[in-house]
Chains A and B, each alone.
Chain A
Amino acid sequence: MNLLPVDFDGITPPMSPDTLSAALAPIELPDPDGQEVRLGTLWEAGPVVLVFLRHYG
């Protein structure tokens, strides 16, 4: 019986990100025009102040 996940290569176990920014970086969200933006691109070239809004206001 094979108990390993089918996509596990047996060499590199999946690693969890060690910072919040690393966890958020791969997430892609659309802007109001429908353009997808990968969050990590926001702080790739320099620091970003990223605000999670409670509401649009």
Chain B
Amino acid sequence: MRDHETQIQEAGATLAAIGLGDANYARLFREETGITFPLLIDEQRRAYTAADLRKGSLLHLFRGDNFAARKEAKAAGHRQHTLGSDPFQLGASFVFAPGNRDVFAHVSETFGDNASVVTVLAALADRGGTGEKKKGP
């Protein structure tokens, strides 16, 4: 998502991220990637718990879609940085708007399951919140 920050800004939004791990992990990540958007640290998993985010399992590592996602990320020039405190934690992407309005949600169901920037930009274009609202069973 960080490669598309300019498009997100052009759509009238900002980008921010939350990670597990500690300040050293986060500082290193910020330095290595050169990101300038807010990066917050959730060592106690308060936000992850409030958002009810899932965890993967060893079986997920060997799924074909995970392999394909890793291959795609590598081809795009990304490399996996430090895993942080919980390698099985799964991520999510949300779009929130003023007034505590939930516009978009994509909660990862496995390791390679990330929101596409196309769907995020579509949700930003359609602030009514009728874009993808993906949340697992």
Contact = CB atoms under 8 A, between A and B. Distances in A.
Interface of A: 17, 19-25, 27, 29-34, 37, 39-40, 42-57
A21 B21 CA distance: 22
Contacts of A56: 19, 21, 25-26, 28-29, 81-84
A47 B91 contact: no
A23 to B, nearest CB: 5
The 6 closest A-B pairs by CB, nearest first: A57-B81, A56-B29, A22-B100, A21-B96, A32-B26, A29-B40
Interface of B: 1, 8, 12-21, 23, 25-30, 38-42, 46-48, 50-51, 53, 78-84, 87, 89-98, 100-103, 105, 108, 111, 120, 124, 127
Contacts of B1: 49, 51
B116 to A, nearest CB: 12
Contacts of B84: 53, 55-56
A52 B96 CA distance: 13
Contacts of B94: 20-21, 49-52
6 contacts: A27-B46, A47-B96, A52-B94, A53-B19, A54-B89, A57-B83
